[in-house]
Each structure stands twice: as structure tokens, then as C-alpha cells.
Amino acid sequence: MRLRKEPDTMQEEDILLIARVSDALAHPARIKIFRFIMNANRDRKKICNKDVVEAFDYSQATISQHIKKLVTSGLLEVQKSDRFSYYYANLGVLMKYLDATKKFPPTV
């Protein structure tokens, strides 16, 4: 495998980010919910809680809890409008997470 040639630059900040986002992604349902919302955003579709409940086989309460965890991690954002909560994937947080994990492979 290829190893990084740059110096080891993973900082405490990176470690905390990885831990926080990993905690949010540690359940298959949350990975799927996050991707469902992210892909809907790409198609310019607004996604509310009800849409997610209908797309997955979990109760409304459970979906709300999973989404809450995704919001806490920063991966999702909420915008309340009308009587709905619309969710949006925060691609910046996703990218920071992916960049941080790139620093895992050991330097040579």
C-alpha cells in the first residue's frame, strides 16, 4: 500500500473531530439516513422528518433521535420552516472529517 510522505500532522483537533463524527456514523441507520438526505439535497429535494420516517423502517421517535445525533455531530443542519424541520447535509464537516482521516496512514 501507499504511505503518506508528508510529516505526521494529525492534531488533537483532528482526533476530536474524527471521534465526534465517527460516533455519529457508528450505526448503519445513521449512515443511511445521512446519505439519504445528502443525495436528496443533490437533487434539490427538501427533506423533512416525515420523509425520513417514510423511507426507513423505524418509528418517528427513533428517526428523530438518530437525526439529532447527526445534527450534534455537525453532519446535518436543521432549518425550521412552516411546521416542518428541513435537514441539510453539511458537506464542509464531511470533507473535514475525510481530510482528517487521510492523516491516518503512517508517514514513511
Partner DNA sequence: TTAATATATCGCCTATTAACAATACATGAG
Partner DNA sequence: CTCATGTATTGTTAATAGGCGATATATTAA
Residues 6-45 within binding reach of DNA (CB under 7 A): 23, 26-27, 29
Single out the residue of 21, 31, 108 nearest to residue 73, CA to CA.
21
Question: Per rule CB under 8 A, is residue 55 in the interface with its own copies?
Answer: no
Q: Which does 67 bind (CB under 5 to 8 A by kind): DNA, its own copies, none?
A: DNA
Looking up cell 450505526, which residue turns up?
Answer: 27
Among 21, 37, 67, 70, binds DNA (CB under 7 A): 67
For the stretch 61-86, what's the b/e string if a residue is b when 16 or more beta carbons lie within 10 angstroms of its beta carbon? eebeebbebbbebbbbeeeeeeeebb
Site residue total, DNA (CB under 7 A): 24
Site residue total, its own copies (CB under 8 A): 33
Minimum CB separation from its own copies for residue 68, in Å? 16
State how far the alpha carbon of 51 is from the alpha carbons of 19, 34, 61, in Å: 29, 13, 13
Q: Which does 48 bind (CB under 5 to 8 A by kind): DNA, its own copies, none?
A: DNA
Question: Per rule CB under 8 A, is residue 9 in the interface with its own copies?
Answer: no
**Long-range contacts from 12-16, C-beta under 8 angstroms, 24+ separation:** 14/100, 14/103
Residues that bind DNA (CB under 7 A): 23, 26-27, 29, 48-50, 53, 58-62, 64-69, 78, 82-85
